[in-house]
Amino acid sequence: MQNIYKIAFKYFFSIRGKNIVNIITLISTTGVLFGTMAMIIVLSVFNGFDEIIKNLYRDVDHDFKLELKDGGNFKINEQIIDKINSIDGIISYSEVLDHKMLGQYLDNQLVLNVKGVDNNYFAGNMLINNLITDSIIASQFFNNKNPNYVLCGIGVFNLLELKLLDFNNPLKISFFQEMNTLNIDNILKTNSFYLTGVYETHTDFDHTSVLLNIASLRDILSTPQVCSSIEISIDKTTNSRSIEQQLSHYFSSEFIVKNRFNQQPFIYKMVQTEKLAVYIIFSFILIISMLSLIASLIVLLMEKQKDIQVLYSIGFKKNQIKNIFFIVGLLINLFGTLLGNIFGLAFCFLQFKFKFLNLGEGASSFIQSYPISVNILDILLINVIVMTLGVLTAYIVSRNQRFYQYN
């Protein structure tokens, strides 16, 4: 067995010069190299974008969200609060009330998702850190002495052409209230609010939502103690899966328990689907690159026919000779994979460190270059794919009987 490896290594390392075997072998190694390198780089970029998206929505979403299964509003009660407080690891919860309303400022109108939140809302996310302009702090915003203060996203701010603390021209928010009589004169209820801060999260939340004190929204809607959802924040050192299971145990009969993934399913599924597509596409590219490995081994077998006869004459069996060329194929694939890993990881490191590859003119203001995040599991999976394809290719070619005829 030791002689088999010695001969295989000799064949592999003696490939030099400019004959056809060496040229095809170089092309084969290069194909594996660039295929491996490209997969590492592209998947690391996808991981970088994935992290950015998760961080963006981490500023908006809480760890968990409780909503009724029918999607309606519900009254908060002591029983719900006691169950939430009984779960270890929960650090805060926020009562939230959502309602679609029409926003109007001067001649501009926009349908808004008016979101009433309480004092704990900002404790569970980083939204308060995304205020790009504000004239009050969070505690003043929730001061009941100022019930007509609101915050809005940069998208709403620009679409309605709002101004901060414009007491002469308030933001008017209207909605159709339920009437028990046929009198429609007062069916449209309008309230005035004053903008005190603008946040920018770089998500659709900026273009649709306005925040105000939940007590003010409940008064406007005449719905005391009513919520659309309860948003829960947990200690980052605790097991989120365990807390999710406890929440489901307590509330699954009436409520839907949503984690961060369930709160933004389309976004996360889109990223995962695109990543799967990259794996499939580059796997096909690697399969095509294996054609050069097939050609390299076939030409090498044709060139070494005299050596094969010599090996027969000194006592080597057919399977042993086949294993020699199988190992040569593995070495070509392994060498290309190793170089692909080195160059791919080196490129990722340089891009992460120096950010020399920019997104272009259409790039967002908060991200100028391609993000990089190297995932060890992705690297391992890439190497498994490349080596599996290499093993199958080398095995199939090296087992072809017509190259091992004994004369």
Q: Percent of the chain, pLDDT > 90? A: 48
Which residue did the predictor score with more confidence, 123 or 306?
Answer: 306
pLDDT bracket for residue 311 (50, 70, 90)? confident
Same structural domain for residues 51 and 134?
no
Same structural domain for residues 109 and 202?
yes
Same structural domain for residues 243 and 159?
yes
pLDDT bracket for residue 313 (50, 70, 90)? confident
pLDDT bracket for residue 16 (50, 70, 90)? low
Name the CA radius of gyration of the chain, rounded: 32
Give me the mean pLDDT over the 27-44 stretch: 91
Same structural domain for residues 346 and 368?
yes
Same structural domain for residues 15 and 129?
no
Same structural domain for residues 35 and 77?
no
Is 70 exceeded by the pLDDT of residue 207?
yes
Which residue did the predictor score with more confidence, 150 or 141?
Answer: 150
Same structural domain for residues 85 and 206?
yes
pLDDT bracket for residue 71 (50, 70, 90)? confident
Same structural domain for residues 390 and 272?
yes
What DSSP assignment string belongs to 47-108? HHHHHHHHHHHHTT--SEEEEETT---EE--HHHHHHHHTSTTEEEEEEEEEEEEEEEETTE
Same structural domain for residues 271 and 382?
yes
What is the span of the domain harbouring residue 101?
64-262
Give the per-residue pLDDT at 87: 95
* Total domains, the chain: 2
Domain boundary among 262, 280, 312: 262
Give me the mean pLDDT over the 240-269 stretch: 92
Domain boundary among 262, 280, 300: 262
Give the per-residue pLDDT at 124: 64
Q: Which of 210, 257, 253 is nearest to 63 (CA)?
A: 257
pLDDT digits (tens, 9 = 90+) for 161-173: 999 889 899 999 9
Give the per-residue pLDDT at 138: 47
pLDDT bracket for residue 137 (50, 70, 90)? very low
Is 60 exceeded by the pLDDT of residue 256?
yes
Same structural domain for residues 121 and 240?
yes
Same structural domain for residues 166 and 31?
no
Same structural domain for residues 18 and 51?
yes
Domain boundary among 262, 287, 318: 262
